[in-house]
Structure 1
Amino acid sequence: MTKKVNIMTDTNAAIVNEAISERIKLYRSQKKMSLDELSRRAGVSKGMLVEIEGCRANPSIALLCRLASSMGVSVADFVNVAGKPAVHLIDASDIPVLWKGEKGGSARLLAGTSGPDMVELWQWILHPGETFESPGHPEGTSELLHVCEGKLTLILSEETYVIMKGCSAVARTDAPHAYTNDGNEVAVFTMTVSERAR
């Protein structure tokens, strides 16, 4: 079952949801993919796809990853921060927030390449006590993490790793994993995701 999560009410969130809705419809049309076919490939209910395309749902990052992978594009393509030929400059005001934590944390997709082989650059902020969980990405996906402030706890396949300020990690994230801030300070980290087409 796919849940609607992180429903945001600010204007920026509405603009991001509208862009996601329009681009999913565009890519589905370009690939001549029916809602039923996309539903089957992504493992997402047709009803949820109708909600997303109708701009009535705010899909989770994990759901966007599954949809993008199923269509051979990247999440960056959905929110228009994907690189184009030569150079694609992205204004600060165009960088979308794709996750908001209960205590003020956020995840911003800073830039990314077009799919299906894609690389994404993220900035994450986790306030003390916040956690983000992922069911895992497609096989072979790797993430590069660098902690700029605080400390980050990575839980991957039931193993726990603590990444301190100024330190980095490389993780294969095709298994369920989570990022949590169990410290007393705000954790700020950058993440690069590398995913290859299946």
Structure 2
Amino acid sequence: MMDAETITAAIANNVRAQRAHRGLTLDALAARSSVSRGMLVQIEQGRTNPSVSTLTRIASALGVTVARLVEVSDVPVVRIVKAAEVVSFPQGEGAARLLIGADAPMILELWDWRLAPGDHHDGDAHPAGTREMLTVLAGELTLTAYGKSHRLRVDDAVLFTADRPHRYANEGDEELRFVMVVAEPKEAPDQ
């Protein structure tokens, strides 16, 4: 697994480069992402390791994947991410691991989540047209979306529109593990 310092430096460089590429000021990115200017300064200077939620908001505002923001090297035609290169974000006693992602022709991310009993993660609303698919590998997941809770067990799968806040929770007695794909259109669909 890559060390935190390398990942923090990659995030700093990638956020700064993506913002500059789009001609955005820090204030403009702050307004688009709902992340404070001060936090953006800390991220771009490599002084903080942002949460998954913060990175998701920044990535969405920039029109790229979280994977693009944590990427350490250029993407070749065939990209293999070795286990040691996977980026991990602590989630209580568990972790959310971003296995791989792409941003062309659409934004895709593949995640491996582990949540300890009693832990949860509140996902922010993604842009319109975003879908999430996941399957439970171990334990039991309580997914709350659109104001309704759904219980998924091992080998159950779900597809849902993720344009509103949602929650992944482990209300069971054993570790929860699930794999998730986030598919976000490059541009918002016509309303």
The answer on 1:125 being equivalent to 2:114 is yes
Deviating above 4 A after TM superposition, structure 1's stretches of 4 or more consecutive aligned residues are none
Structure 1 residue 35: Cα displacement: 1.0
The answer on 1:180 being equivalent to 2:169 is yes
Q: Which of 43, 55, 66 is equivalent to 2:46?
A: 55
Structure 1 residue 145: Cα displacement: 0.7
Pair 119,37 (structure 1): closer, same or farther in 2 beyond 3 Å: same
Structure 1 stretches lacking a partner, 5+ long: 1-9
* C-alpha distance in 1 between matches for 2:176 and 2:5: 26
The answer on 1:43 being equivalent to 2:34 is yes
* C-alpha distance in 2 between matches for 1:83 and 1:55: 19
Structure 1 residue 81: Cα displacement: 7.6
Pair 140,60 (structure 1): closer, same or farther in 2 beyond 3 Å: same
Map 1:67-82; keep pairs closer than 5 Å. 67-80=58-71
Paired residues of 1:41 and 1:70 also in contact (CA < 8 A): yes
* C-alpha distance in 1 between matches for 2:5 and 2:178: 25
Paired residues of 2:117 and 2:172 also in contact (CA < 8 A): yes
1:123-150 deviation digits (Å, cap 9, x = unpaired): 0011111111112111111110100111
* TM-score computed with the length of structure 2 as normaliser: 0.90
1:17-71 deviation digits (Å, cap 9, x = unpaired): 2211111011122222211221122122211111111222222222212211222
The answer on 1:66 being equivalent to 2:57 is yes
Structure 1 residue 82: Cα displacement: 9.3
Structure 1 residue 117: Cα displacement: 2.6
* TM-score computed with the length of structure 1 as normaliser: 0.87
Structure 2 stretches lacking a partner, 5+ long: none
Paired residues of 1:77 and 1:115 also in contact (CA < 8 A): no
Paired residues of 2:7 and 2:72 also in contact (CA < 8 A): no
* C-alpha distance in 1 between matches for 2:6 and 2:141: 30
Q: Which of 3, 6, 9 is equivalent to 1:12?
A: 3
Counterpart of 2:13? 22
* C-alpha distance in 2 between matches for 1:95 and 1:101: 15
Structure 1 residue 88: Cα displacement: 0.9
Q: Which of 91, 94, 109 is equivalent to 1:101?
A: 91
The answer on 1:167 being equivalent to 2:165 is no
Paired residues of 2:2 and 2:86 also in contact (CA < 8 A): no
Paired residues of 2:101 and 2:110 also in contact (CA < 8 A): yes
* C-alpha distance in 2 between matches for 1:40 and 1:101: 26
Secondary structure (helix, strand or coil) at the match of 1:68 reads helix
Percent identity over the alignment is 37
Pair 78,115 (structure 1): closer, same or farther in 2 beyond 3 Å: farther
Pair 88,54 (structure 1): closer, same or farther in 2 beyond 3 Å: same
* C-alpha distance in 1 between matches for 2:45 and 2:21: 18
